[in-house]
Amino acid sequence: MHALDASLKLEPLSEGRYRGDPPLAYWNMVGPYGGISAAIALKGVLDDPRCQGEPLSLTVNYCAPVRDCPYELVVENDRTSRTTQHWSIAMRQPDPNEPQRTTTTVRALAVMGRRRDVWEAAVGGGPPAVPGPHGLRSRKGREGIRWFEHYDSRFVDSPMKTVDPDAPVVSWVRDHPPRPIDYPALAALADTFFPAIFAKRKAVMPIATVSMNVYFHATAGDLSAVGDRFLLGVSRSSVYRGGFFDCESQLWADERLIATTQQIVWYRE
């Protein structure tokens, strides 16, 4: 079983309630990689028998550190209409100081939608023209960063060496080992981008995602057609101010925009 599938396994407890094990294979330094928490939140909706349609949007707020103990995931169906379905999601764990109380570690909103066969268009000229992934080197991970072992990410130009530190970070990425993409995998991939602030400051510094937003622009059929091939990611930040910066990114598969994603991220000088 792929580490991603093992990490997204949810044990149903009752309607809208699951128990899950901490996704240790996707651990970052002091807790899970943000993308895996996003994928877990979405998986909770997709596993629910009431779920209708395909993911349209996902917002994930990282409220408190997720600990290496089991969690409860609660998904609430706020509304179902003909075209959309709204969900609220909470991940909870026992409070480390008062185990009889729970802490909300992750809060999320998801919208599912019924896509229809209507007029379509893309704007803005497609992804940047760059060399394909197969001649490029995979990024090396860092000691102790487990989640990165499960991705194959390849820079078109190393952002730490580039002449223009404000240039968008362009990279190819897929699960490692390769795994056919689905919506939870896409949600997790949306958090793999190299932080542009490291290039801007020519240094690695403490950062933490506060909130992440993903808009899905692909049907399940589109994702099947992508299979396990590389996605092209393009990412940029606009403003670093007051200890928080934004990040706006696109994920492309074969000239087709399949997700746009944004974050607001805490940084320490």
Q: From 25-33, 41-49, 154-162, 236-244, give the range in contact with its own copies by CB under 8 A.
A: 236-244
The footprint of its own copies on residues 137-196 (CB under 8 A) is 166, 196
d(CA 113, CA 81) in angstroms, rounded, equals 9
**SS3 (DSSP) at 219:** coil
d(CA 122, CA 165) in angstroms, rounded, equals 28
Query: Prior bond to 177 cis, omega within 30?
Result: yes
**Is-contact 110 58, C-beta < 8 A?**
yes
d(CA 211, CA 261) in angstroms, rounded, equals 11
Q: Which of 66, 115, 108 is nearest to 217 (CA)?
A: 115
Q: At its nearest, how many Å lie between its own copies and the CB of residue 218?
A: 8
The footprint of its own copies on residues 238-257 (CB under 8 A) is 238-244, 246, 248, 250, 257
Cα torsion for 119, 125, 126, 132, to the nearest 10°? Answer: 150
Nearer to its own copies, 158 or 238 (CB): 238
Residue 67 engages its own copies in binding (rule: CB under 8 A)? no
The footprint of its own copies on residues 98-137 (CB under 8 A) is 103-104, 107-109, 111, 113-124
Q: At its nearest, how many Å lie between its own copies and the CB of residue 237?
A: 6
Q: Site size for its own copies, by CB under 8 A? A: 62
**Is-contact 58 191, C-beta < 8 A?**
no
Binding site for its own copies (CB under 8 A): 56-57, 59, 61, 63-64, 78-79, 81, 83-84, 86, 88, 90, 103-104, 107-109, 111, 113-124, 166, 196, 200-201, 210-211, 213, 215, 217, 219, 236-244, 246, 248, 250, 257, 260, 262, 264, 266-269
